[in-house]
Amino acid sequence: MERTVRIIGAPMDYGANRRGVDMGPSAIRYADLADGLERAGVDPVDDGDLTMPRAEERDPNADQPSRGDAKFLREIEDVCKRVRDRVATTLANGEFPLVLGGDHSVAIGSLTGSARDADLGVIWFDAHADLNTPETSPSGNVHGMPLAAALGRGAFGETEWAPAPRLRESSIAYVGLRSIDDRERELIRESEITAFTMADIDQRGISAVVDDALAVATDGTDGVHVSLDLDWLDPKTAPGVGTPVRGGVTYREAHAALETLSRRDEAEGVLRSMDVVEVNPILDEGNETATLAAELTASTFGKRIL
């Protein structure tokens, strides 16, 4: 029986400092996401987009944590709870949830939903660690904090909605880090998260690094969540992102990484949920980044050259 992939659009930009990332889901769909998934051999079902209040009508500081800075926290909570419930229901129905962002704070919803009824491993493809707490964030932008939120770190420990029930630090692996804030560096070092930086990819090659990330995320877990931030790629290849950092993975390395996940998934069924985030069509060139997002997603579900 074909696997059903349920597409959940979360056009949210409250977590980012640059507008436009809310158009990500449309741009990725326009880039033939469904077609690519069909050719990969899965059955895509599109749930459409969750509705969002307009950011212009909101006060970013209306609901702040007791310590630190986290803009639009109330709006992000509202959206992420809905993402969480959709993801959990999709999994309960035996389907695969694919969340389209939106800025990376939607991952709080994917993680809390996917780790509700299962011990969850995570592979985080990103230039950034997204482990700031409201106390350490240099920007107050929640897209730099989703992992901290899902782990209930810092001021997020006071929320009932953000911590993911069955997510442990030791089951999380970063792949491709190259932009880490000073205080965030300390947080990573003190944590049990495994971090593979761009330097690891340079030295050992992408496939070996992804194999190691898979080992971390599958050890003692029931399944793996893949979080794909398009700024993981080099900005020359993926220009349509709000926080570009030069020196990212190439087009080929990105495909190789996701094909490695796909091959392991074909053999052992390890993948459980995924989000594709931070595509910003306003900053993109000819929908190139959205197209890449669609292609990489198809690779994850088994699309091959031959």
Ligand X SMILES: NC(=[NH2+])NCCC[C@H](N)C(=O)O
Residues at the interface with ligand X (CB under 6 A):
104, 128, 130, 132, 137-139, 141, 143-144, 181, 229, 231, 243, 278
- 126 is a catalytic site residue: yes
- 186 is a catalytic site residue: no
- 234 is a catalytic site residue: no
Among candidate residues 275, 17, 306, the one with its CA nearest the CA of residue 124: 275
Instruction: Determine the size of the site formed for Mn ion (CB under 5 A).
Output: 7
Compute the distance between CA of residue 247 and CA of residue 18 in angstroms, rounded to an integer.
21
Compute the distance between CA of residue 244 and CA of residue 179 in angstroms, rounded to an integer.
10
- 46 is a catalytic site residue: no
The catalytically annotated residue of 75, 77, 103, 229 is 229
Q: Output the residue with the shortest Cβ distance to ligand X.
A: 144
Minimum distance from residue 70 beta carbon to ligand X (Å) = 11
Is 126 a known ligand-binding residue? Answer: yes
Closer residue to Mn ion (CB): 40 or 284: 284
Binding of Mn ion by 13 (CB under 5 A): no
Binding of Mn ion by 127 (CB under 5 A): yes
Minimum distance from residue 75 beta carbon to ligand X (Å) = 17
Is 128 a known ligand-binding residue? Answer: yes
Cβ within 8 Å of residue 18, ≥6 positions away: 242, 243, 280, 283
Closer residue to ligand X (CB): 139 or 218: 139
The catalytically annotated residue of 22, 49, 143, 184 is 143
Binding of Mn ion by 126 (CB under 5 A): yes
Closer residue to Mn ion (CB): 4 or 237: 237
Closer residue to ligand X (CB): 84 or 128: 128
Residue list 205-264, contact with Mn ion (CB under 5 A): 229, 231
- 69 is a catalytic site residue: no
Binding of Mn ion by 184 (CB under 5 A): no
Is 130 a known ligand-binding residue? Answer: yes
Minimum distance from residue 236 beta carbon to ligand X (Å) = 17
The catalytically annotated residue of 13, 103, 128, 225 is 128
Q: What is the 3-state secondary structure (H, E, C) of the chain?
A: CCCEEEEEEECCCCCCCCCCHHHHHHHHHHCCHHHHHHHCCCEEEEEEECCCCCHHHCCCCCCCCCCCCCCCHHHHHHHHHHHHHHHHHHHHCCCEEEEEECCHHHHHHHHHHHCCCCCEEEEEECCECCCCCCCCCCCCCHHHCHHHHHCCCHHHHHCCCCCCCCEEEEEEEEEEECECCHHHHHHHHHCCCEEEEHHHHHHHCHHHHHHHHHHHHHCCCCEEEEEEEHHHECCCCCCCCCCCCCCCECHHHHHHHHHHHHHHHHHHCCEEEEEEECCCCCCCCCCHHHHHHHHHHHHHCCCCCC
The site partner of 141 among Mn ion, ligand X, none (C-beta below 5 to 8 Å per kind) is ligand X
Minimum distance from residue 98 beta carbon to Mn ion (Å) = 17
The catalytically annotated residue of 231, 259, 275, 295 is 231
Compute the distance between CA of residue 163 and CA of residue 28 in angstroms, rounded to an integer.
29
- 255 is a catalytic site residue: no
- 222 is a catalytic site residue: no
Is 231 a known ligand-binding residue? Answer: yes
Cβ within 8 Å of residue 192, ≥6 positions away: 168, 169, 170
Could you list the residues that contact Mn ion (CB under 5 A)? Answer: 104, 126-128, 130, 229, 231
Binding-site positions for Mn(2+) read: 104, 126, 128, 130, 229, 231
Q: Which residues are catalytic?
A: 104, 126, 128, 130, 143, 229, 231, 278
